[in-house]
A and B are shown apart, each in its own frame.
Chain A
Amino acid sequence: MWRGLWTLVARPARGPRSPRPCTRQGSGAPAPGSGATIFALSSGQGRCGIAVIRTSGPASGQALRSLTAPRDLPPARKACLRLLSDPRSEEPLDRALVLWFPGPQSFTGEDCAEFHVHGGPAVVSGVLQALGSVPGLRPAEAGEFTRRAFAHGKLSLTEVEGLADLIHAETEAQRRQALRQLDGELSHLCRGWAETLTKALAHVEAYIDFGEDDNLEEGVLDQGGSAWGVGGGDIWHLSPQRPPYSLSFPPSTADSEVRELEVALGAHLRDARRGQRLRSGAHVVVAGPPNAGKSSLVNLLSRKPVSIVSPEPGTTRDVLETPVDLAGFPALLSDTAGLREGVGPVEQEGVRRAQKRLEQADLILAVLDASDLASASSCNFLDTVVIPAGAGSPNGSSQRLLLVLNKSDLLPAGGPDPSPDLPPHLLLSCLTGEGLDGFLEALRKELAALCGDPSTGPPLLTRARHQHHLQGCLDALGHYKQAKDLALAAEALRVARGHLTRITGGGGTEEILDIIFRDFCVGK
């Protein structure tokens, strides 16, 4: 569906020079009845020197102020250097040039703001997410800036000649982007969620439209699979008047499915911190039994002597952190104490900290001594850390692990693989540098999976849109739970489904009716 089509009549063709009825010096408060404020990355995707992020709409002033607090709006149309920070966390994002264009003297004719930020994907993603959190702002649809400019008479008709082509191209690009992203895990999830919601909604709508009028038959309701009508936790205990039997609605299936969906969405939003990881860096923790060469690996990766290295086991007793650029990804590298028992209190505290850090890791680099695989500490480490991570952690988080066998230089040259029974692993010698290329490539792949590859991965804008709609969906599901009547509950589900279908496409009334007529025998 064609949303937010901007219209000419909303602001009748006033020439750009004609005076506005009231000069609004960007009061910030959205004018009543005006459209939403949109934002988008206006420069190209990927890594570049400077990236330009633009907003247009009545809340632009508010957005600019929120990100540059406590400073006031800069003078109109003058570039100013400001510290941008996230309005929620107050975490600094970037030092950037900002520009303020009060309407109508702007590209779109509305209040506009521009943020010229450093072009790293982490910064851009951070600023987009920060903007998304400002009330009244939403990611722009394809071609929406141009459309607004057109609607406000900012583009002459000759300039508009190419507009349709442009929008077509943009829509096409967005579709391809969406396809690319939807090819993977998210696609699977989103489609599944949208299906669940459509079904839940169809059940609620069937109950509203046919429950009493057309003697919706309760036997058919059972077809949904799970048992209806028992759920003590249901919001509604209704015994509709027309069919004397209690259909006990809403279908507990709809209800429990929505509850499950809510949990899944919440987990996804909390867990899919890819943007977050890009900004602050992935947490990479180096762990292993004592004297496996963890500190050597850290020093090798950071290209500086972060940790003291010695042949003595238990040299590192605390967690040592260092920010590094690994294959183009920002990462926070932590060296930890070797995991072993029965040592002095200081080292034991170090072991405790190491274990805690392991729990928080996005990626674990598990280091073992290739020449010492049979030792008790090596076996213990394999059993307690490596194997469980490979089996997937019980709390469903996405912890990744890369198993590295260090000190390959101590193995007999050309000998067989010392450990065919181990999980997939890499051989490396921190001393000679042998196997380093293979290791770095494996590391890059892991980080790309964690952070999203900025060069080929899902574009940041798409990601911001997804997050926006997923959050909107989750909020609506919250309203569903609180809804006091079925019409309100259905409305909440409609809103929730609307958000999901804006990610996956589709979603007309017909689709719901089709399910109703397929699943229920309705009719007089």
Chain B
Amino acid sequence: MSCNPSFGGIGKGHLMREVDALDGLCCRICDQSGVHYKVLNRRKGPAVWGLRAQIDRKLYKQNMQKEILNTPLLTVQEGAVEDLILTEPEPEHTGKYRVSGVVLVDGSTVYAESVVLTTGTFLRGMIVIGLEMHPAGRLGDQPSIGLARTLEKLGFVVGRLKTGTPPRIAKESINFSILNKQTPDNPSIPFSFINETVWIKPEDQLPCYLTHTNPQVDEIVLENLHLNCHVKETTRGPRYCPSIESKVLRFPNRIHQVWLEPEGMDSDLIYPQGLSVTLPAELQEKMITCIRGLEKAKMIQPGYGVQYDYLDPRQITPSLETHLVQRLFFAGQINGTTGYEEAAAQGVIAGINASLRVRHKPPFVISRTEGYIGVLIDDLTTLGTNEPYRMFTSRAEFRLSLRPDNADSRLTFRGYKEAGCVSQQRYERATWMKSSLEEGISVLKSIEFSSSKWKNLIPEASISSGKSLPLRALDVLKYEEVDIELLAKAVPEPLKEYTRCRELAERLKIEATYESVLFHQQQEIKEVQRDEALQLPKDLDYLTLRDVSLSREVREKLHFSRPQTIGAASRIPGVTPAAIINLLRFVKTTQQRQAAMDRLPQTDQRLCNTDKLEDRQL
């Protein structure tokens, strides 16, 4: 964790639950390392709840290292990668080269069947404070220059992005007594599906505090723009994680919030969220001390900006393997994203696919209709990005289906069967949950009374007794003020059973809330999935393809993004409906030709393929 001392948030919490559903580590480690757990958006609907926690940096590092070092069969070696070892490509796959290992900075080599690059902000990383710039991946670490050169030489399209981090302040120098205090949730909601609680009781957790900027801050920023080269640069920074300088410039004469967040249980550092800044250090200190509560604050480490290389993510497939180099996978900031959660989401997919690739198994791809991970990767690989990409819930078109509560039922089974990345324990828990939910819903559907009877049974609920049709228990559960507990008091048999597991009770309530809308969304999801089941041949050379009539512009777009399905192709801006129809026709002829070829040796091959495709739609 090299920037903010927190995990999760809105959209980001969704990604974490999906990572956890695939048995990625970050949720479990966060449940052991948090110091302030709070679910955001509590009152805006369960589809947009955002699990979030302040995390103790030191604990997170310790717990993560313990977990990794204790993973069986895993060898860990530390060292900066300087170059890639390349060999001849495998003829049955696309790509100009194939990676077979890496060269470390000390000249030693590590051979590997596949390689995942997660370079963070290190590729030609450059740190900026005031007018000073020096090469570094983050404060105190050398950047990666040789690797950046190698990638560029191979022909990857490289871009440049920037981000920033705020100064750190000594905890004991802050006057918290005059600031607004925020307390954590009670009880704490764990991140991981396999945990029922977190490691720490709510009363032992640390509070956060809120303060604000003022016109003096604006003044210091505006008077010293000439001392601030990070702000002047044309490199794209995130619109949604702006530095205090860009906030002052874009929204003048405003007061901005600054959250004072603890860095850990026994850390004496405070992270002032919202105060990312690249002024010269002495001006940063001056700016901090004019903020309420920070009048006597001591700055321990200045804030700084980072500029770094990323590679246009349209150069990778949805399994995160590069088009150019076989068995080379990219994940995280190298693909233009920002945030731990976005990185974790790509990490788990790249890891799974790096392993599947070696075992000659088909890639593990998550569709937009299955998860936020799918939305993230599809957006990156079909649209690319020119600013640090961050997840929002508004990016997901099927937001009501892709909820934090049901990530396990969406992904755990696929992870278990197709990728082999899910533990037996998690698989069994997900299986139990799924069957309990299905049973619970059908029981709730089967209990029917008149609305007046329901009103008598549950006087708390605002059921209108005018309706003559009988109401199902599931319909009653839709009322805001009704939960399983209340229903079970009214109809103890057979509903009492469903109050025993808190998670099950909560999930039944959520399913009831969204039942009617989900039915319509399912129809739309099916339409999208049909298009995604139509695979485009991987080795298609769009630039020279003769049999398909396509415009030059469309050819270039397809050539660069190399969409894997008709669905993905149709999402690329500038690819016209007519082009899609032409591609469709092409796919169909190819399929028919292929089928005819296959029929010669074994007649039932086509049937098998068809069955597989139909399976995927379910």
Q: Residues of A at under 8 Å CB distance from B?
A: 1-10, 12-13, 33, 35, 143, 147, 150, 157, 160, 163-165, 167-168, 171, 205, 207-215, 217, 219-220, 236, 238, 240-244, 484-488, 490-491, 494, 509, 512-513, 517, 521-524
Contact = CB atoms under 8 A, between A and B. Distances in A.
A242 B54 CA distance: 13
B257 A243 contact: yes
A196 to B, nearest CB: 18
B392 to A, nearest CB: 4
Contact of B259 (A8, A215, A236): A215
Contact of B549 (A164, A490, A521): A164
B182 A217 contact: no
Contacts of A3: 527
Given A7-B533, A33-B526, A486-B43, 20 more contacts: A2-B531, A2-B577, A7-B534, A8-B534, A9-B610, A13-B595, A150-B585, A164-B579, A167-B581, A168-B578, A209-B392, A213-B50, A215-B257, A240-B41, A485-B45, A485-B46, A487-B48, A490-B399, A491-B517, A509-B394
A521 B250 contact: yes
B254 A521 contact: yes
A1 B570 CA distance: 7
A382 B241 CA distance: 66
Interface hub of B48, B242, B580, B581 (most chain A Cβ within 10 A): B581
Contact of A241 (B4, B38, B254, B399): B38
Interface residues on B, range: 35 or more
A119 B41 CA distance: 57
A207 B613 CA distance: 40
Which 10 residue pairs spanning A and B have beta carbons closest together? A485-B45, A487-B45, A486-B44, A487-B47, A215-B257, A2-B570, A7-B530, A168-B578, A205-B394, A212-B40
Contact of A486 (B45, B255, B256, B259): B45
18 contacts: A2-B580, A5-B530, A5-B566, A7-B534, A8-B587, A9-B614, A33-B523, A164-B581, A168-B578, A208-B393, A213-B9, A217-B251, A238-B44, A240-B41, A486-B41, A512-B394, A524-B4, A524-B241
A178 B513 CA distance: 39
Contacts of A512: 394
B581 A9 contact: no
A524 B11 contact: no
Interface of B: 4, 9-12, 38, 40-48, 50, 52, 180, 182, 210, 238-242, 247, 250-251, 254-257, 259, 273-274, 276, 392-395, 397, 399-400, 478, 480, 513-514, 517, 523, 526-527, 530-531, 533-534, 549, 566-567, 570-571, 576-582, 584-585, 587-589, 591-592, 595, 606, 610, 613-614, 617
Given A1-B570, A9-B530, A523-B247, A208 B394 contact: yes
Nearest to A509: B395
Contact of B399 (A150, A168, A491, A523): A491
Contact of B589 (A150, A157, A208, A219): A157
Contact of A524 (B40, B273, B581, B587): B273
Contacts of B255: 217, 219
A208 B395 CA distance: 12
Given A7-B533, A242-B40, A524 B274 contact: yes
A13 B592 contact: yes
B48 A208 contact: yes
B46 A487 contact: yes
A170 to B, nearest CB: 10
A370 B27 CA distance: 89
Nearest to B548: A164
A163 B570 CA distance: 17
Contacts of A2: 531, 570, 577, 580
B549 to A, nearest CB: 7
Nearest to A172: B578
A13 B567 CA distance: 19
Contacts of B182: 241-242, 244
B582 A164 contact: yes
A427 B395 CA distance: 63
Interface of A (DSSP majority class): loop
Contacts of B256: 215, 217, 521
Contacts of B46: 485, 487
A165 B254 contact: no
B394 A513 contact: yes
Contact of B10 (A1, A147, A209, A523): A209
Contacts of A164: 549, 578-579, 581-582, 585
A210 B50 CA distance: 11
A209 B566 contact: no
A353 to B, nearest CB: 40
A486 B393 CA distance: 12
B257 A167 contact: no
Contacts of B592: 13
B558 to A, nearest CB: 14
B577 A7 contact: no
A7 B570 CA distance: 13
Contact of A485 (B11, B393, B513, B533): B513
A2 to B, nearest CB: 4
Nearest to B526: A33
Interface hub of B45, B46, B514, B526 (most chain A Cβ within 10 A): B45
A37 B335 CA distance: 42
A435 to B, nearest CB: 53
Nearest to B243: A523
Contacts of A523: 238-242, 247, 274
A157 B530 contact: no
Contacts of B589: 157
Contacts of B259: 215, 524
A215 B180 CA distance: 14
Nearest to A171: B577
B526 to A, nearest CB: 6
A512 B393 CA distance: 12
Given A35-B527, A217-B256, A523-B247, A209 B45 contact: no
Nearest to B246: A523
Contacts of A157: 585, 588-589
Contacts of B582: 164
Contacts of B526: 33
Interface hub of B52, B239, B533, B617 (most chain A Cβ within 10 A): B239
B130 to A, nearest CB: 21
Contacts of B392: 205, 209, 513
Contacts of A488: 45, 47, 400, 513-514, 517
Contacts of B180: 244
Contacts of B10: 208-210, 212-213
A10 B257 CA distance: 52
Interface hub of A7, A211, A238 (most chain B Cβ within 10 A): A7
Nearest to A212: B40
Nearest to B254: A219
A202 B305 CA distance: 30
Contacts of B41: 208, 211-212, 240, 486
Contacts of B530: 5-7, 9-10
Contacts of B38: 241-242
B48 A486 contact: yes
Nearest to B576: A168
A211 B41 CA distance: 8
B590 to A, nearest CB: 11
A485 B251 CA distance: 30
Given A167-B581, A487-B45, A209 B11 contact: yes
Nearest to A249: B44
B580 A5 contact: yes
B257 A7 contact: no
B257 to A, nearest CB: 4
A10 B529 CA distance: 10
Contacts of A212: 10, 40-41, 50
B254 A217 contact: yes
Interface hub of B9, B480, B606 (most chain A Cβ within 10 A): B9
Contacts of A215: 256-257, 259, 274
